Chains A and B, each alone.
Chain A
Amino acid sequence: MLDMIKGVFTDNGFVTAFLVIGLTMWLAYFISNKLTKGKIHGSAIAIVLGLLLAYIGGVVTEGSKGLADISFLAGIGFLGGSMLRDFAIVATSFGANFDEIKKAGFRGVISLFFGVILSFVVGVIFAYLFGYKDAVSMTTIGAGTVTYIVGPVTGATLGASSEVIAISIAAGLIKSVLVMVGTPFVAKYIGLNNPMSAMVYGGLMGTTSGVAGGLAATDPKLVPYGAVTATFYTGLGCLLAPTVLFLITNAIF
């Protein structure tokens, strides 16, 4: 009987994902309304619950896809995978104001370049402090703090060791998770309440999943503005890190 139910869930993974995520959302909004009296936004709690489930999934299966590694919950990996995530992000622009995007466009571009370079420099400094003193390792770890995609792309191009690449991915993951969880809590201190600052935020943070989750938990109306810049960030990082930024790092150290 149990096997039969599990089989139905496994065979209909995508539909199962709708149910599981729906229940998670319900629980999150229940906690938000009853336990925090609406002070902590339901979607913020839902994202934290999601990350918690991902942690449990990782511990149970020792895989790298969180809850999606559990066979009958694999559909969650599809629902939350890059295709549907990007599809839903594009849909958020329905209702965004193009004039606001144009108005903040210049600052958005500045914050993109500034964000990539700032993240890279912080990563390089910590790599150096932890004893990685060769330019290839430092560049790879610096690229990892840009995003967890830029890290391995750069590491593979420069021929970094797999240990260093693993560190760069982990640093990028920490960044992404912290942005997801932390954004609603720092939003009011950094003026994150209008389209302009949301575009700057997307450019500075850059991690698409982090920005997408963090802004959703703060104020869903800000999502399209943050996402529109953040989606350029990883590409810019992949362009700058193994080339210009590597050459500069190599020249200094």
Chain B
Amino acid sequence: MVIYGVAILAGCFLVGTIVGELIGDLMGVDSNVGGVGIAMLLLIIIVDKLVKSGKISKPSLDGLSFWNQMYIPVVVAMAASQNVLGALTGGPLAIIAGITVVVVSWAFVPILSGKQKEEPAFRNPAIRGEADA
């Protein structure tokens, strides 16, 4: 059933968020530390196990696939609810510092990621739906 896939996703999300809150608490930080990242790793491992042991059906995977493909629309909605006006009226210091930090960080991407030997390796691209989603 589709809901099984969505429920696995929701379970991973909630467990990750709880662990993230705990890490934040332990470090004395008033913020979730890596909850989403932990949830992602959890989902990858669990789905991999379920697929390999054949314990998950196609409709259940569709439940995951749906939210996977809803990602870009959600990001567009996120963009539409940003405080863009606030960013642009924040004064010259905010604008110049904001632009510089991005440009400087861009310059460091090739340095930190090092040389790439081979073609990018992606697994089963078809499962991710539309090629240009």
Q: What residues of chain A have their CB less than 8 Å away from a CB belonging to chain B?
A: 17-18, 21-22, 24-25, 28, 41-43, 46-51, 53-55, 57-59, 62, 64-68, 76-77, 79-81, 84-98, 100-101, 107, 110-111, 114-115, 118-119, 122-123, 126-127, 130, 141, 144-145, 149, 153, 166-180, 182, 186, 190-197, 200-201, 203-205, 208-209, 212-213, 216, 220-221, 223-224, 227-229, 231-232, 234-236, 238-239
Contacts and interface: CB of A to CB of B under 8 A. Distances in A.
Contact of A80 (B16, B31, B45, B81): B81
B55 to A, nearest CB: 16
Indicate the member of B43, B73, B89 with the most A CB atoms within 10 Å.
Answer: B73
Interface string B62-90: 00110110111111111111111111111
Contact of A172 (B30, B74, B92, B98): B98
Contacts of A77: 77, 81
Contact of B37 (A22, A178, A193, A227): A227
Given A193-B120, A213-B79, A238 B29 contact: yes
A93 B128 contact: no
Contact of B77 (A57, A79, A123, A190): A79
Task: Sort chain B's interface into a size bin.
Answer: 35 or more
Contacts of B78: 50, 80-81, 85, 209, 212-213
Contacts of A51: 79-80, 82, 84
B47 interface: yes
Closest 3 pairs between A and B when the two form their complex, measured CB to CB = A170-B90, A174-B98, A58-B85
B54 interface: no
B108 A54 contact: no
A17 B128 contact: no
Given A77-B81, A80-B81, A145-B98, A171 B90 contact: yes
A115 B9 contact: no
Contact of B124 (A43, A95, A172, A194): A95
